[in-house]
Amino acid sequence: MKSSRLHSPWTPWLFLAPFLLSFGAFIAWPAVRSLMLAFEQTYGPKTTAFVGTANLRFLVHDPFLWTAVGNTIVFTLAAVVLQIPAALGLALLLNRSDLRGRRFFRLVFFSPSIVGLAFVAIMFSFMLEKRTGLINASLHHLFPAWNPDFPWLDRYVMPSLILAQLWLSAGFYMVYFLAALQNVPGELLDAAHIDGAGAWQRFWHVTLPEIRPVLNIILLLVVTGSFQLFDLPYLLYNDTAGSGPDNHALTVVTYLFQTGFRSGDLGYASAIGWMLTLVLVGFALIQRRLARAEES
Protein backbone atom coordinates (compact mmCIF):
# COMPACT_ATOMS: atom_id res chain seq x y z
CA MET A 1 0.00 0.00 0.00
CA LYS A 2 2.70 2.42 1.07
CA SER A 3 4.78 1.45 -1.90
CA SER A 4 1.98 2.02 -4.41
CA ARG A 5 1.32 5.52 -3.00
CA LEU A 6 4.90 6.51 -3.39
CA HIS A 7 4.95 5.13 -6.91
CA SER A 8 1.86 6.93 -8.13
CA PRO A 9 2.40 8.82 -11.43
CA TRP A 10 2.12 12.14 -9.54
CA THR A 11 4.96 11.42 -7.15
CA PRO A 12 7.78 12.67 -9.44
CA TRP A 13 5.80 15.82 -10.15
CA LEU A 14 5.28 16.35 -6.45
CA PHE A 15 9.03 16.24 -5.92
CA LEU A 16 9.69 18.38 -8.95
CA ALA A 17 7.01 20.92 -8.04
CA PRO A 18 9.15 23.17 -5.80
CA PHE A 19 11.77 23.48 -8.51
CA LEU A 20 9.27 23.87 -11.34
CA LEU A 21 7.31 26.51 -9.45
CA SER A 22 10.35 28.56 -8.50
CA PHE A 23 11.92 28.13 -11.94
CA GLY A 24 8.69 29.18 -13.61
CA ALA A 25 8.08 32.14 -11.32
CA PHE A 26 11.62 33.48 -11.09
CA ILE A 27 13.33 32.46 -14.33
CA ALA A 28 11.02 31.28 -17.12
CA TRP A 29 8.24 33.85 -16.77
CA PRO A 30 10.58 36.84 -16.25
CA ALA A 31 12.55 35.71 -19.31
CA VAL A 32 9.40 35.51 -21.43
CA ARG A 33 8.14 38.81 -20.02
CA SER A 34 11.43 40.57 -20.69
CA LEU A 35 11.38 39.24 -24.26
CA MET A 36 7.90 40.74 -24.67
CA LEU A 37 9.11 43.96 -23.06
CA ALA A 38 11.83 44.27 -25.69
CA PHE A 39 9.04 45.12 -28.14
CA GLU A 40 7.46 47.75 -25.90
CA GLN A 41 8.26 51.16 -24.53
CA THR A 42 7.41 51.50 -20.86
CA TYR A 43 6.98 54.08 -18.18
CA GLY A 44 7.41 51.54 -15.41
CA PRO A 45 5.60 48.24 -15.82
CA LYS A 46 2.11 49.80 -15.77
CA THR A 47 2.21 52.13 -18.75
CA THR A 48 3.39 50.46 -21.93
CA ALA A 49 3.23 51.10 -25.66
CA PHE A 50 3.93 48.47 -28.29
CA VAL A 51 6.73 49.75 -30.53
CA GLY A 52 7.43 46.63 -32.60
CA THR A 53 11.08 46.32 -33.52
CA ALA A 54 11.86 49.98 -32.79
CA ASN A 55 13.94 49.11 -29.70
CA LEU A 56 15.98 46.58 -31.62
CA ARG A 57 16.51 48.95 -34.53
CA PHE A 58 17.55 51.75 -32.18
CA LEU A 59 19.96 49.36 -30.50
CA VAL A 60 21.92 49.08 -33.74
CA HIS A 61 22.34 52.85 -34.09
CA ASP A 62 22.57 53.88 -30.43
CA PRO A 63 26.00 55.51 -29.95
CA PHE A 64 25.75 55.25 -26.15
CA LEU A 65 25.29 51.51 -26.41
CA TRP A 66 28.24 51.09 -28.76
CA THR A 67 30.41 53.21 -26.48
CA ALA A 68 29.33 50.89 -23.67
CA VAL A 69 30.05 47.80 -25.77
CA GLY A 70 33.52 49.14 -26.67
CA ASN A 71 34.35 49.90 -23.04
CA THR A 72 33.09 46.50 -21.92
CA ILE A 73 35.18 44.68 -24.53
CA VAL A 74 38.30 46.63 -23.55
CA PHE A 75 37.68 45.83 -19.90
CA THR A 76 37.06 42.16 -20.66
CA LEU A 77 40.20 41.79 -22.76
CA ALA A 78 42.25 43.50 -20.07
CA ALA A 79 40.67 41.26 -17.45
CA VAL A 80 41.57 38.12 -19.41
CA VAL A 81 45.09 39.30 -20.21
CA LEU A 82 45.87 40.57 -16.72
CA GLN A 83 43.69 38.83 -14.15
CA ILE A 84 44.26 35.25 -15.25
CA PRO A 85 48.07 35.43 -15.56
CA ALA A 86 48.27 37.39 -12.31
CA ALA A 87 46.10 34.86 -10.48
CA LEU A 88 48.05 31.94 -11.97
CA GLY A 89 51.38 33.59 -11.16
CA LEU A 90 50.38 34.11 -7.54
CA ALA A 91 49.13 30.54 -7.30
CA LEU A 92 52.38 29.15 -8.74
CA LEU A 93 54.31 31.23 -6.24
CA LEU A 94 52.24 30.04 -3.31
CA ASN A 95 52.38 26.44 -4.51
CA ARG A 96 56.12 26.29 -3.91
CA SER A 97 56.77 24.07 -0.95
CA ASP A 98 59.94 25.97 -0.08
CA LEU A 99 58.12 29.30 0.34
CA ARG A 100 57.90 30.37 3.98
CA GLY A 101 54.72 32.01 5.25
CA ARG A 102 52.54 30.58 2.47
CA ARG A 103 49.39 30.75 4.59
CA PHE A 104 50.03 34.37 5.44
CA PHE A 105 50.54 35.34 1.80
CA ARG A 106 47.48 33.34 0.76
CA LEU A 107 45.42 35.37 3.22
CA VAL A 108 47.02 38.62 2.05
CA PHE A 109 46.32 37.95 -1.63
CA PHE A 110 42.80 36.71 -0.94
CA SER A 111 41.88 39.51 1.47
CA PRO A 112 40.60 41.99 -1.18
CA SER A 113 37.86 39.47 -1.95
CA ILE A 114 36.88 39.38 1.71
CA VAL A 115 36.56 43.14 2.13
CA GLY A 116 34.26 43.43 -0.86
CA LEU A 117 33.75 45.60 -3.85
CA ALA A 118 32.29 48.68 -2.19
CA PHE A 119 35.35 48.97 0.03
CA VAL A 120 37.68 48.51 -2.94
CA ALA A 121 35.88 51.20 -4.93
CA ILE A 122 36.02 53.67 -2.05
CA MET A 123 39.65 52.85 -1.37
CA PHE A 124 40.64 53.36 -5.00
CA SER A 125 38.72 56.63 -5.16
CA PHE A 126 40.82 57.79 -2.19
CA MET A 127 44.05 56.50 -3.66
CA LEU A 128 43.56 57.91 -7.15
CA GLU A 129 42.26 61.32 -6.08
CA LYS A 130 44.01 64.36 -7.56
CA ARG A 131 46.49 66.10 -5.28
CA THR A 132 45.39 64.47 -1.99
CA GLY A 133 45.28 60.85 -3.25
CA LEU A 134 47.89 58.41 -1.97
CA ILE A 135 49.33 57.68 -5.42
CA ASN A 136 49.70 61.27 -6.61
CA ALA A 137 50.91 62.51 -3.24
CA SER A 138 53.49 59.70 -2.99
CA LEU A 139 54.73 60.13 -6.55
CA HIS A 140 55.00 63.89 -6.10
CA HIS A 141 56.90 63.35 -2.87
CA LEU A 142 59.31 60.89 -4.51
CA PHE A 143 59.59 62.70 -7.83
CA PRO A 144 58.88 66.44 -7.41
CA ALA A 145 58.40 66.73 -11.19
CA TRP A 146 55.30 64.50 -10.94
CA ASN A 147 52.11 66.52 -11.37
CA PRO A 148 50.12 66.18 -8.11
CA ASP A 149 46.97 67.01 -10.07
CA PHE A 150 47.46 64.03 -12.37
CA PRO A 151 43.88 63.11 -13.32
CA TRP A 152 43.79 59.33 -12.88
CA LEU A 153 40.03 59.13 -12.37
CA ASP A 154 39.24 61.80 -14.96
CA ARG A 155 41.48 60.89 -17.86
CA TYR A 156 42.54 57.31 -17.19
CA VAL A 157 39.14 55.88 -16.45
CA MET A 158 39.51 52.41 -17.90
CA PRO A 159 43.02 51.79 -16.49
CA SER A 160 41.70 52.83 -13.07
CA LEU A 161 38.82 50.37 -13.34
CA ILE A 162 41.08 47.59 -14.60
CA LEU A 163 43.57 48.19 -11.81
CA ALA A 164 40.86 48.14 -9.13
CA GLN A 165 39.30 44.96 -10.55
CA LEU A 166 42.70 43.29 -10.82
CA TRP A 167 43.44 44.03 -7.19
CA LEU A 168 40.03 42.72 -6.21
CA SER A 169 39.91 39.53 -8.29
CA ALA A 170 43.45 38.22 -8.72
CA GLY A 171 43.51 36.71 -5.22
CA PHE A 172 40.07 35.20 -5.68
CA TYR A 173 40.97 33.31 -8.86
CA MET A 174 44.34 32.46 -7.32
CA VAL A 175 42.52 30.15 -4.89
CA TYR A 176 41.00 28.17 -7.79
CA PHE A 177 44.39 27.83 -9.44
CA LEU A 178 46.03 26.86 -6.19
CA ALA A 179 43.52 24.05 -5.68
CA ALA A 180 44.12 22.86 -9.24
CA LEU A 181 47.91 23.04 -8.87
CA GLN A 182 47.78 20.96 -5.73
CA ASN A 183 46.07 18.23 -7.73
CA VAL A 184 48.80 18.07 -10.37
CA PRO A 185 50.41 14.63 -9.84
CA GLY A 186 53.89 15.06 -8.38
CA GLU A 187 55.17 11.95 -10.12
CA LEU A 188 54.42 13.49 -13.54
CA LEU A 189 56.47 16.55 -12.65
CA ASP A 190 59.24 14.37 -11.23
CA ALA A 191 59.29 12.23 -14.36
CA ALA A 192 59.52 15.31 -16.56
CA HIS A 193 62.32 16.64 -14.35
CA ILE A 194 64.23 13.34 -14.68
CA ASP A 195 63.70 13.47 -18.45
CA GLY A 196 65.51 16.81 -18.44
CA ALA A 197 62.57 19.19 -18.77
CA GLY A 198 63.27 22.69 -17.49
CA ALA A 199 60.91 24.69 -15.25
CA TRP A 200 59.17 26.34 -18.20
CA GLN A 201 58.80 23.06 -20.09
CA ARG A 202 57.37 21.37 -16.98
CA PHE A 203 54.87 24.18 -16.60
CA TRP A 204 53.90 24.25 -20.27
CA HIS A 205 53.76 20.51 -20.96
CA VAL A 206 52.66 19.11 -17.59
CA THR A 207 51.12 21.69 -15.27
CA LEU A 208 49.11 23.67 -17.79
CA PRO A 209 47.39 20.66 -19.42
CA GLU A 210 46.55 19.33 -15.96
CA ILE A 211 44.93 22.56 -14.79
CA ARG A 212 43.26 23.32 -18.12
CA PRO A 213 39.71 22.43 -16.95
CA VAL A 214 40.02 24.95 -14.13
CA LEU A 215 41.56 27.48 -16.49
CA ASN A 216 38.56 27.10 -18.79
CA ILE A 217 36.14 27.66 -15.94
CA ILE A 218 38.05 30.73 -14.78
CA LEU A 219 38.15 32.09 -18.31
CA LEU A 220 34.38 31.71 -18.50
CA LEU A 221 33.91 33.37 -15.09
CA VAL A 222 36.22 36.27 -15.96
CA VAL A 223 34.58 36.91 -19.33
CA THR A 224 30.98 36.67 -18.11
CA GLY A 225 31.83 38.67 -14.97
CA SER A 226 33.54 41.38 -17.02
CA PHE A 227 30.66 41.62 -19.45
CA GLN A 228 28.37 42.14 -16.46
CA LEU A 229 30.58 44.85 -14.96
CA PHE A 230 28.38 47.37 -13.16
CA ASP A 231 29.07 47.92 -9.49
CA LEU A 232 32.67 49.08 -9.68
CA PRO A 233 32.11 51.93 -12.20
CA TYR A 234 28.82 52.75 -10.49
CA LEU A 235 30.55 53.22 -7.15
CA LEU A 236 33.67 54.94 -8.52
CA TYR A 237 31.69 57.32 -10.74
CA ASN A 238 28.52 57.67 -8.74
CA ASP A 239 27.99 61.33 -9.70
CA THR A 240 27.48 60.27 -13.32
CA ALA A 241 25.50 57.12 -12.45
CA GLY A 242 28.48 55.02 -13.47
CA SER A 243 29.11 56.62 -16.86
CA GLY A 244 32.32 58.35 -15.85
CA PRO A 245 33.86 61.33 -17.64
CA ASP A 246 32.86 61.39 -21.32
CA ASN A 247 31.18 57.98 -20.83
CA HIS A 248 34.57 56.27 -20.51
CA ALA A 249 33.29 54.05 -17.67
CA LEU A 250 29.95 53.27 -19.28
CA THR A 251 29.47 49.51 -19.58
CA VAL A 252 26.62 47.55 -21.15
CA VAL A 253 25.06 46.69 -17.80
CA THR A 254 25.47 50.24 -16.50
CA TYR A 255 23.66 51.50 -19.59
CA LEU A 256 20.98 48.88 -19.12
CA PHE A 257 20.54 50.04 -15.52
CA GLN A 258 20.41 53.71 -16.51
CA THR A 259 17.86 53.02 -19.23
CA GLY A 260 15.64 50.72 -17.21
CA PHE A 261 15.82 52.19 -13.75
CA ARG A 262 16.76 55.84 -14.23
CA SER A 263 14.74 56.54 -17.37
CA GLY A 264 12.04 53.97 -16.57
CA ASP A 265 12.23 52.45 -20.07
CA LEU A 266 12.18 48.77 -19.20
CA GLY A 267 11.49 47.92 -22.85
CA TYR A 268 14.74 49.25 -24.22
CA ALA A 269 16.59 47.91 -21.17
CA SER A 270 15.17 44.46 -21.96
CA ALA A 271 16.38 44.73 -25.54
CA ILE A 272 19.88 45.54 -24.24
CA GLY A 273 19.62 42.67 -21.77
CA TRP A 274 18.74 40.20 -24.50
CA MET A 275 21.61 41.40 -26.65
CA LEU A 276 23.98 40.84 -23.73
CA THR A 277 22.49 37.41 -23.06
CA LEU A 278 23.01 36.34 -26.66
CA VAL A 279 26.62 37.53 -26.60
CA LEU A 280 27.35 35.66 -23.37
CA VAL A 281 25.60 32.49 -24.49
CA GLY A 282 27.51 32.69 -27.79
CA PHE A 283 30.79 33.07 -25.97
CA ALA A 284 30.00 30.17 -23.62
CA LEU A 285 29.13 27.91 -26.57
CA ILE A 286 32.30 28.80 -28.46
CA GLN A 287 34.41 28.32 -25.38
CA ARG A 288 32.78 24.96 -24.64
CA ARG A 289 33.29 23.79 -28.21
CA LEU A 290 36.96 24.80 -28.13
CA ALA A 291 37.44 23.05 -24.81
CA ARG A 292 35.87 19.86 -26.16
CA ALA A 293 37.96 20.02 -29.31
CA GLU A 294 41.08 20.30 -27.16
CA GLU A 295 40.01 17.39 -24.99
CA SER A 296 39.35 15.15 -27.98
- In the complex, which residues of this chain contact another protein (CB under 8 A)? 2, 6, 41, 43-47, 49, 51, 54, 58, 61-64, 125-126, 129-133, 140, 144-145, 147-149, 151, 154, 239-241, 243, 245-247, 262-265, 268
Of 23 and 64, which CB lies nearer to another protein in the complex structure?
64
Of 226 and 243, which CB lies nearer to another protein in the complex structure?
243
Of 30 and 185, which CB lies nearer to another protein in the complex structure?
30
Amino acid code (one letter) for 133: G
CA 125 to chain centre: 20
State the Cα–Cα distance between residues 289 and 287, nearest whole angstrom: 5
Least distance (Å) from another protein to the CB of residue 62? 8
Q: Which of 162, 74, 73 is nearest to 120 (CA)?
A: 162
State the Cα–Cα distance between residues 159 and 138, nearest whole angstrom: 19
Residues whose CB is less than 8 angstroms from the CB of residue 95 and which lie 6 or more positions away in sequence, other chains included: 178, 181, 182
Strand positions, DSSP E, the chain? 40-43, 47-50
Least distance (Å) from another protein to the CB of residue 14? 10
Of 129 and 210, which CB lies nearer to another protein in the complex structure?
129
CA atoms within 13 A of residue 235's CA, in its CB half-sphere? 19
Least distance (Å) from another protein to the CB of residue 232? 17
Least distance (Å) from another protein to the CB of residue 25? 16
Of 30 and 85, which CB lies nearer to another protein in the complex structure?
30
